Amino acid sequence: MPDAKPKKSSRIQQRNRYRILDAALDVFSAHGYRGATLDQIAEAAGLSKPNILYYFSGKEEIHVTLLSQLMETWLDPLVDMDASGDPVTEILAYVQRKLDMARELPRESRLFANEILQGAPRMRPHLTADLKPLFDEKCVVIQEWSDTGKIAPIDAQHLIFSIWATTQHYADFAAQIDLLIGPNVEAADAHLQALFSSILRK
């Protein structure tokens, strides 16, 4: 007898899962994994705690689900770097994509940063299986551009780290930036484009 097909979630169940995950993203990005509680997630979602536990086994499963969903989105800007394109154009476009992502997905950025700061206990398998091969592949591309004189001499690995650090700042420290200079999007774009252009050009 063939195995029974898994039952498809109803629209209400799908909607409730989305509500839980969206609420959890708020809670985890604000309080971190350790500071977040199921009670906080339930309150933010407008559901009871038993209702939360109907859909997820606990806080860790919710957190892992969010991180798993985030991983593909997080890798896309680096995936789009084209080895056959103009090196400076490709790298500057990557900087812009990362900066745009920091602005558009600040909660996701903080969720990712908090997980890394804790040593990536729940995300390490994804980092090993997905990020590491992609990072190595793109480092080879950038290093070849540098070694063949298409861009200035550069350490590809640390160039990517520098891009991550500068663009991530605009998500994780948005409150500080707004307080000090206001939300001047154009100035940030122009600064990072000029900064990395000066590093890359011979």
pLDDT in tens, the chain (202 residues): 444 444 566 888 899 999 999 999 999 999 989 999 999 999 999 999 999 999 999 999 999 999 988 888 889 999 999 999 999 999 999 999 999 998 899 899 889 888 888 898 888 888 999 999 999 999 999 999 999 999 999 999 999 999 999 998 888 888 898 899 887 788 889 999 999 999 999 7
End-to-end Cα spacing for the chain: 68
What residue ranges define each of the domains in the chain, with the CATH number in brackets? Answer: 8-56 (1.10.10.60), 63-200 (1.10.357.10)
CB atoms within 10 A of CB 28: 26
- Region of 61 please: left (phi>0), alpha (psi -120 to 50) or beta: alpha
Contacting residues for 47 by C-beta, under 8 A, at least 6 apart: 16, 19, 20
Residue type, 115: E
CA distance 57 to 72: 24
Q: In the 8-state DSSP scheme, what is residue 118? A: T
Contacting residues for 17 by C-beta, under 8 A, at least 6 apart: 9, 55
136, exposed or middle or buried, with CB in 10 Å at 0-12, 13-18, 19+? exposed
